[in-house]
Amino acid sequence: MARVMVLHGPNLNLLGTREPEIYGAETLEDVNAALTALGAELGVEVECRQSNDEGELVSAIQAAGKSCDYLIANLAAYTHTSIALMDAIKAVAIPTIEVHISNTHAREEYRHKSYIAPVVEGRIEGLGTHGYLLALRHAARKIAAKGGKR
């Protein structure tokens, strides 16, 4: 079975309570349950991880490179600061979709730059948590088109 890892970066464990006017009312558990259910429908095993620690996220990306067919990454604030995460994605060469719940370009200027954008297949932002589901549908379609191989 094809495998997709979904990485949630810092503070996404606070979904549902953190700035609901920006991030909505869904919790991280809600998002992960929706991803797992959709994955089952699409014939894709979904592994969800969250960390507030940059090093743990780097390790998770490296692990995904060995065991997963796709990576969906919302690296949150690290998107705008972390060359280490960009290097990890580039090093493992796993197809990656960058997801953001909010439209980063409609927010503070420091959120406009994504260090990982140059090394990802595509970006989905500003569509709320639905962006994760769109990313998973895309990943499943691409995996199927390649006969289940990267």
Active site residues: 23, 100
Bridge partners, 8 (sequence order): 50, 74
Residue with tokens 């429908």: 41
Listed in sequence order, the DSSP H helices in the chain are 20-23, 28-42, 54-67, 83-92, 130-145
Q: What is d(CA 33, CA 40) in angstroms, rounded to the nearest whole number?
A: 11
Please count the residues of the chain.
150
Report residue 59 CA to chain centroid gap: 15
